[in-house]
Structure 1
């Protein structure tokens, strides 16, 4: 199959697979009586990040470490500047206490930690273990906050509790979605590596652009639909949670699976930019505990400028 066709088909498979996986997993979780907050933090945030995990592990298998790391850096920049920006531009977003007190600090710390760990030119298994420990600690803290009722719960955002006779179908969705994501990742990485060679650009650039935007499609779909439905807590929680899990869980698991090469360009440019985007959120989030339309538009413009510069200067 043509490399360019492989990229397109792989991206489509990731989107379809992630949709089935998230819907099936959310429905099963709701059926088991898990609260909407925990469904959002675990199933939705991790589920929409599974394309990045599949791409990362497949990239590691193909010795394409820069693509895996570039994908995470690019995806987090897409999540905050483009997707969160679009959501705020549509409807100003009010922030919950947990977002300010827990999610925002962890997102900033994880971005800075990744930059520090990658500064020696590789992500080792020890680095991966450190990131995974942070992911586990974050998840436990969120669960405890939900149980103790320290924060207002998320609204019922996922009307997914299945009737008894649909449980089997939800399981099929979950397993089938996972299988499609795995196959789609294989096609996408294989095609992306070939395309990078054909165009004479680095694997990191492909990861930062085509792959990052493609694997962010589940977050984009979830956020836009949540915003349209007025479920703005999910819009913010999904993006911030996904950005945290992308670094801690996804890249941590990928590095644990196989050490990853990190290019000098990623260390000098892209990882610092990812950290800068996280840091920019601090004054924006703390000012009035909301993201205004103007700030949303500024985020989107910032992403467009970033993308244009990446394409113009590095391809």
Structure 2
């Protein structure tokens, strides 16, 4: 049991460090190859920051623990809204009037509806995965077209880890660390989480919805909390929306090609609808421009705690 907890801890640390290294290496490689910062921001960074979740889900399917893969995505989307927005809001109000994420939010709602619909047509196999990946490709193309039209694409200063003058040895080093560390971290996390689930008689899906989901959301949470202390909590909203769309369309899209992913009845009856409800909670703040105050943040976190307790009780 102690070893399994250690595996989970080692896996999370490796995922965070390797994921950061992969983003830095990929961003700087793209810039050195002359790819515009706009394209890098909308593709390379987006995929790179979702790499830990993707590797965990793929590893879970390969290890015959598909419940962790599905629970990881659904649980991460719930945690992203209730925790990754709730905790920063407790520190500093998120001023929704400053946000320009309406289009992205509508995309997230559409992706959520598509994902839930496909789950009811499950188990998720290659053709479900193909639909999700086509949706992801269309979203990326739309984002690029919109960004070019409004000339408000990513600048160098906006890209995490961007250093156009980075030497080739450093770029290659980041890529090697990322590409080696991510699969090892995913394996440690999935193995440890699966064993813990068996010891306590908890389903793999519940472990994915809680332990694994929060673990793979830690980078987003850490970034949002740091931004809140810098009075820049507003940046959390865009990160959450982008992450949730990639989780639904990209991660399950890839994992579905690796192997069949059954959808538990418990998820069809409750967890998918909790995810949908969490997404709809943002309507007053994005569509009506109400601020996410400290009281709202406390309510978000309390709702997440109540949901987690209901899973393990």
TM-score w.r.t. length of structure 2: 0.90
Counterpart contact for 2:23–2:161, Cα < 8 Å: no
Partner of 1:72: 73
Q: Residue 99 of structure 1 is aligned with which of 98, 101, 119?
A: 101
Tell me what 1:197 maps to.
198
Hey, what does 1:109 align to over in structure 2?
Answer: 110
Does structure 2 retain, via aligned residues, the 8 Å contact 1:68–1:207? Answer: yes
Decide whether aligned partners of structure 1 residues 80 and 298 sit closer, same or farther in structure 2, where only a CA change above 3 A counts.
same
User: Where in structure 2 are the equivalents of 1:148-159 lying within 5 Å?
Assistant: 148-149=149-150, 156-158=157-159
Change (3 A) 1:36 1:290: farther
CA contact (8 A) 2:109 2:279 kept: yes
- Closer/same/farther in 2, CA of residues 39 and 165 from structure 1, 3 Å limit: closer
Q: 1: distance between equivalents of 2:20 and 2:301?
A: 25
- Alpha-carbon offset, residue 37 of structure 1: 5.2
State the number of aligned residues.
311
- 1:1-315 aligned at under 5 Å gives the runs 2-31=3-32, 38-95=39-96, 98-100=100-102, 102-149=103-150, 156-158=157-159, 160-162=161-163, 164=165, 166-232=167-233, 234-288=235-289, 290-312=291-313
Relative distance call for 1:204 and 1:3 in structure 2 (3 A) is: same
Q: Distance in 2 between matches of 1:237 and 1:31?
A: 26
Distance 1:160 1:5, change over 3 A: closer
Asked if structure 1 preserves the Cα contact closer than 8 Å seen for 2:24 and 2:162, the reply is no
* Structure 2: runs of 5 or more not aligned: none
41-50 vs 116-125, which deviates more? 41-50
Greater mean alpha carbon deviation, residues 303-312 or residues 231-240:
231-240
Deviation at 1:227, TM superposition (A): 3.5
Give me the CA root mean square deviation. Answer: 2.4
Aligned counterparts of 2:47 and 2:230: Cα–Cα separation in 1? 22
User: Secondary structure at 1:274's aligned position in 2?
Assistant: helix
Q: CA deviation at 1:156?
A: 2.8
Q: 1:201 Cα shift?
A: 0.6
Cα 1:155/1:269, change in 2 over 3 Å: farther
Give the distance between the partners of 1:23 and 1:165, measured in 2 at CA: 10
After alignment, is 34-43 or 301-310 more displaced? 34-43
Aligned equivalents of 1:121 and 1:161: distance in 2?
41
- Partner secondary structure for residue 85 of structure 2: helix
Q: CA deviation at 1:165?
A: 5.2
CA distance in 1, matches of 2:153, 2:292: 19
Hey, what's the Cα distance between the residues in 2 that align with 1:37 and 1:24?
17
8 Å CA contact 2:23, 2:45 repeated in 1: yes
CA contact (8 A) 2:93 2:292 kept: yes
167-176 or 188-197, which deviates more: 167-176
**How far apart in 2 are the matches of 1:111 and 1:68?**
16
Shift of 1:81: 0.6
Contact 1:81 / 1:302 at 8 angstroms: preserved in 2? yes
